[in-house]
Amino acid sequence: IKNTSSLIRTSFLDYFIKENGHAFIRSSPVVPFQDPSLSFVNAGMNQFKNVLLGLQNPTFKKVANSQKCIRVGGKHNDLSSVGQDTYHHTFFEMLGNWSFGDYFKKEACSMAWTLLTCRFNIPSHRLYVTYFGGDKELGLPPDLETKEIWKSIGVNPKHILPFGIQDNFWEMGKTGPCGPCTEIHYSYQDGTPTPEKVNVGNPDLIELWNIVFIEYNRSGESSLEKLPERHVDTGMGLERLVAVLQGVKSNYDTDLFRPLFDVISRVSGARAYTGAFGAMDHDGLDTAYRILADHSRMSAVALSDNMFPDQNHKLRRIIRRALVTCERNFKMKDNAKLLGAVVEGVADILAHAYPEISRNLNKVQMIIRNESEIIRELNRSTAKEWNKLVKQDQRLSAFTGVEAVGLVPAYRDLRDSLVDKTKVLSSEIAIRLYDTYGLDADLIDDLASALGFSFKRDDFDNDLKHFKQERNKSFSSNLDLTANWTSTLIQHNVPFTNDSYKY
């Protein structure tokens, strides 16, 4: 079959490796390697961070790969878009090529343009390019060199547009390698140019490829240091490219997702996926399909890379949301059965590029079942308790129907530590409710006001940020948990592999 996602991934890699002399580097696991500034690997360049900073010599000067990325939390957080739009996922694959002190702007732009227009045959009038328009505060000039490069390549000048820091200055996180970038966007519409639709979140005109010219290290809030060498770091979302090349307007209509929808309807008996969004999705089932498929991919990838839910709260929340979706929207009492089946589908679809998912499938299934049992038990014990508490304390009646998990211990904690002493809910206690009992800020706010405490949300947000930073510093202590899990898996005779970092 032409244009399958596997073939498209391979064509990208072949183009850089066979035609343009790049070396292939495997995707790193999604677990950040000794980098407490991240919860998950969020871009192809993460594994090359030290090379880009000049702290490590590259094994090869030109490399290409397809990197497993997760964007939940941190600077690039896409969780709230998942299920709602056609092109943001928690887990996605980033196709990339790099030059470590080798080629620079001209070669990077022209290779990208040739691949899209001559190999993949995307009509050039469908493409828009953006460049960095400069920033006064940081003292950075506009990147007119890149603008001229695009002109010389033959891009229609009406399709070359400047943007500011937000879109065209790429940064990995609060600190780290960064630089101006130029991006290629794809328009699903023919006809007159529509530059006003670029970078405004329009599903008709989506960002496809980011080409970053790494020249700086951000070491703090307002300080940029020039790096010893200049590098190229590019990233193109595979799912978006596949949608374009398979002629569909939603990533969910590609062969990366459709087979997962088939599994969901077959196992649950639910009606088929119809591709409705927003208000058009009357019963919310299509959105649930997208969320479940997305979260299954993310869980399969993170778990098979040896990340554990006890280690990473964000992963735990995603798995639980997937399990809740199985139960609520797809009426599957045995939620782990459905999630497990979808995860198996993920392993099949991605088997060619990431065989570690199928190799670790038993382990992944076991952890999912374990999570399902933990929340079932928590729900069972707390629902009873909560009903008792609501009878005793009328102020809690506003919370009927809210999931009781976490509320019971939170209420007890509040009652015992605050009553008759103060009427202010301190950040310290609020953080405990957040971190230990899993209440989100809105729920803490509601609970505080129901019980008559004042709660300063801004202070809490700031203190929580600080708390997370401090906890990240002790990140390495989490490695103990990995050791615990590893021994559990050995006891249960579950085979697993631990892919080592290649860089």
| CB 326 to ligand ATP: min, Å | 22
> Which is nearer to Mg ion, 92 or 455 (by Cβ)?
92
Task: Please tell me the total number of residues recorded for the chain in this structure.
Answer: 503
> Which is nearer to ligand ATP, 239 or 371 (by Cβ)?
239
Amino acid identity of residue 462, one-letter, is: N
Contact 268, 332 (CB under 8 A): yes
| CB 449 to ligand ATP: min, Å | 34
* CA–CA dist 91, 78 (Å, integer): 10
Contact 104, 230 (CB under 8 A): yes
* CA–CA dist 85, 250 (Å, integer): 8
335 lines the binding site for Mg ion (CB under 5 A): no
| CB 206 to ligand ATP: min, Å | 7
Site string for Mg ion, 163-202 (x = CB under 5 A): ----------------------------------------
Q: How wide is the angle at C-alpha 67 spanned by C-alphas 318 and 496, nearest 5°? A: 65
DSSP 300-311: HHHHHTT--TTT
DSSP 275-288: ---GGG-TTSHHHH
Q: How wide is the angle at C-alpha 164 spanned by C-alphas 210 and 216, nearest 5°? A: 65
Residue 490: Cβ-neighbour burial (10 angstroms; 0-12, 13-18, 19+) = exposed
160 binds, among Mg ion, ligand ATP, none (CB under 5 to 8 A by kind): none
**488, two tokens:** 């559990």
Q: How wide is the angle at C-alpha 72 spanned by C-alphas 67 and 73, nearest 5°? A: 125
329 lines the binding site for Mg ion (CB under 5 A): no
> Which is nearer to Mg ion, 207 or 356 (by Cβ)?
207
Q: Which DSSP letter does residue 257 get?
A: T
| CB 370 to ligand ATP: min, Å | 28
What is the binding site for ligand ATP (CB under 6 A)?
71, 76, 78, 88-89, 92, 94, 207-210, 235-237, 239-240
209 binds, among Mg ion, ligand ATP, none (CB under 5 to 8 A by kind): ligand ATP
**33, two tokens:** 């390697």
> Which is nearer to ligand ATP, 71 or 363 (by Cβ)?
71
For 221-258, list the strands marked E by DSSP. 223-237
3-state secondary structure of 44: helix
- Looking at 203-211, 289-297, 343-351, 445-453, which segment touches Mg ion (CB under 5 A)? 203-211
* CA–CA dist 443, 396 (Å, integer): 12
236 binds, among ligand ATP, Mg ion, none (CB under 5 to 8 A by kind): ligand ATP
Q: Which residue has the closest beta carbon to Mg ion? A: 210
210 lines the binding site for Mg ion (CB under 5 A): yes
> Which is nearer to Mg ion, 175 or 202 (by Cβ)?
202
**457, two tokens:** 């949300």
406 binds, among Mg ion, ligand ATP, none (CB under 5 to 8 A by kind): none
| CB 92 to ligand ATP: min, Å | 3
| CB 230 to ligand ATP: min, Å | 19
> Which is nearer to Mg ion, 207 or 371 (by Cβ)?
207
| CB 137 to ligand ATP: min, Å | 20
- Binding residues for Mg ion, how many (CB under 5 A)? 2
| CB 76 to ligand ATP: min, Å | 6
**374, two tokens:** 């933990």
For 115-157, list the strands marked E by DSSP. 127-132
237 binds, among Mg ion, ligand ATP, none (CB under 5 to 8 A by kind): ligand ATP
Which residues are near Mg ion by CB under 5 A?
A: 207, 210
